């Protein structure tokens, strides 16, 4: 580009400088637009041992990991060490949410009596980084929002969720409880449908989906065809959400991290129980579409590694005092 002649003075020179500025600004906007907006969603499907998942028909998860990865992982901390944590649902959820074991977050059972909110959850970290980031929770269990995330509690960081869809297990008129827990299956169906539709339309920056039915089937029937079939059904619910993410990636300039995992395994004897430190109870799994997996992913990562991995993908800044307390390390570069 030729320099602006020094003979151009007054209004004429001003106009030229404005035009040049607009051209340069337009170039900068074009460069910014070429950067994909990072988004992340994590899904917990309850109580599916790795060996069961690996035998079940799961076409959606199989497609998800085609260009990403699948690995066995673990929950429960260090056996007989300070971090040993019960292989129980709420304990596993909170270990994922906070990137710490139970000796820090203080959730040791599903009662969730006195969670220690000084160990921040991933939603609090996201809002600290940028309060305009949009967050969402879709859950078949109300306490995920009210007790673990502690949304709205001052000690947990106040309101952190821009949208939530939960509490339907308390609606006995719409979902009357039955012994076979089919009402939970129906709520999972509703929750996954809502998640798929909401993500397709609004694409929150960070979302959590929780589905419960597989764990209920395990408790009722243990290992066998019914548990296998429930895993295949769960996979179809995950597929709905995955299809929405794929659609967003085609129609919008978005870079999605999609993670599916479970909270614990089951006992060797029957598959009906969990909570102890047997290998099968501790062995979980992680499936993801990420193409940026490092060596930690293939080295039996822990549930506590998921938070720093999401934070890396979303490029979240974590306060030093919170980061130093994390028990996990990122498996995403």
Range of the domain at 111: 36-323
> What pLDDT does residue 148 have?
98
For residue 27, what pLDDT band results from cuts at 50, 70 and 90?
A: very low
User: What is the model's pLDDT at position 150?
Assistant: 98
CB of 45 closer than 8 Å to CB of 234? yes
Q: Which residues pair with 259 in a beta bridge?
A: 42, 288
| Partners of 332 in beta bridges | 293
Tens-place pLDDT, residues 121-150? 999 999 999 999 999 999 999 999 999 999
4 lies in some domain: no
How do residues 152-188 score in pLDDT, each as one tens digit? 999 999 999 999 999 999 999 999 999 999 999 999 9
pLDDT at 5 (0 to 100): 36
pLDDT in the model for residue 25 = 45
- Other Cβ atoms closer than 10 A to 300: 13
Say which residue, 213 or 24, is predicted with more confidence: 213
Q: Give the pLDDT score at 23.
A: 41
Give how many domains the chain has, as a whole number: 1
CATH code for position 89 = 3.40.720.10
Secondary structure (H, E, C), the chain: CCCCCCCCCHHHHHHHHHHHHHHHHHHHHHHHHCCCEEEEEEEEECCCCHHHHHHCCCHHHHHHCCCCEEEEEECCCCCCCCCCCCCCHHHHHHHHHHCCCHHHHCCCCCCCCCCCCCCCCHHHHHHHHCCCCCEEEEECCCHHHHHHHCCCCHHHCCCCCCEEECCHHHCCCCCCCCCCCHHHHHHHHHHHHHHHHHHHHHCCCEEEEEECHHHHHHHHHCCCHHHHHHHHHHHHHHHHHHHHHHHHHHHCCEEEEEEEECCCCCCCCCCCCCCCCCHHHHEEEEEECCCCECCCCCCCCEHHHHHHHHHHHHCCCCCHHHHCCCCCCCCEC
pLDDT 10s digits, 95-126: 999 999 999 999 999 999 999 999 999 999 99
Residue 132 lies in a domain: yes
Q: For residue 30, report the phi and psi dihedrals to the nearest 5 degrees.
A: -65, -40
| Within-domain flag for 104 | yes
Classify residue 211: in a domain, yes or no.
Answer: yes
pLDDT interval class at 77 (50, 70, 90): very high
Q: For strands 37-45 and 254-261, give the pairing.
A: parallel
**Is pLDDT of 80 > 80?**
yes
* Domain contains 67: yes
Q: Does residue 200 form part of some domain? A: yes
Residue 198, CB half-sphere, CA atoms under 13 Å: how many?
22
Looking at residue 35, its pLDDT comes to 73
| Per-residue pLDDT at 29 exceeds 60 | no
């Amino acid at each position: 580009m030729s320099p602006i002649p020094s003979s151009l003075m007054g209004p004429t020179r001003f106009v030229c400088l404005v035009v040049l500025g607009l051209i340069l600004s337009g170039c900068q906007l074009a460069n910014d637009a070429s950067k994909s907006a990072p988004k992340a969603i994590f899904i917990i499907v309850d109580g599916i041992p790795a060996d069961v998942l690996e035998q079940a028909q799961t076409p959606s998860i199989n497609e998800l990991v085609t260009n990403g990865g699948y690995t066995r992982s673990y929950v429960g901390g260090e056996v007989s060490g300070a971090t040993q944590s019960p292989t129980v649902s709420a304990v596993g959820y909170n270990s994922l949410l906070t990137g710490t074991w139970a000796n820090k977050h203080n959730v040791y059972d599903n009662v969730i009596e006195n969670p220690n909110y000084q160990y921040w959850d991933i939603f609090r970290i996201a809002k600290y980084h940028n309060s305009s980031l949009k967050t969402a929770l879709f859950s078949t269990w109300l306490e995920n929002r009210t007790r673990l995330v502690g949304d709205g509690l001052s000690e947990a960081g106040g309101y952190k969720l821009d949208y939530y869809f939960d509490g339907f297990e308390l609606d006995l008129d719409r979902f009357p409880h039955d012994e076979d827990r089919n009402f939970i299956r129906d709520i999972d169906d509703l929750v996954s449908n809502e998640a798929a539709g909401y993500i397709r339309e609004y694409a929150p920056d960070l979302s959590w989906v929780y589905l419960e039915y597989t764990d209920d089937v395990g408790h009722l029937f243990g290992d066998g065809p019914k548990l296998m079939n429930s895993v295949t059904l769960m996979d179809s619910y995950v597929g709905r959400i995955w299809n929405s993410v794929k659609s967003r990636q085609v129609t919008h300039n978005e870079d999605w991290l999609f993670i599916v995992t479970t909270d614990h395994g089951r006992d060797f004897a029957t598959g009906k129980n969990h909570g102890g430190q047997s290998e099968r109870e501790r062995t979980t799994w992680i499936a993801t579409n990420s193409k940026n997996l490092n060596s930690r992913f293939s080295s039996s990562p822990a549930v506590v590694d998921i938070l720093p991995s999401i934070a890396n993908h979303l490029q979240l800044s974590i306060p030093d005092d919170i980061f130093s307390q994390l028990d996990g390390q990122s498996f995403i570069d």
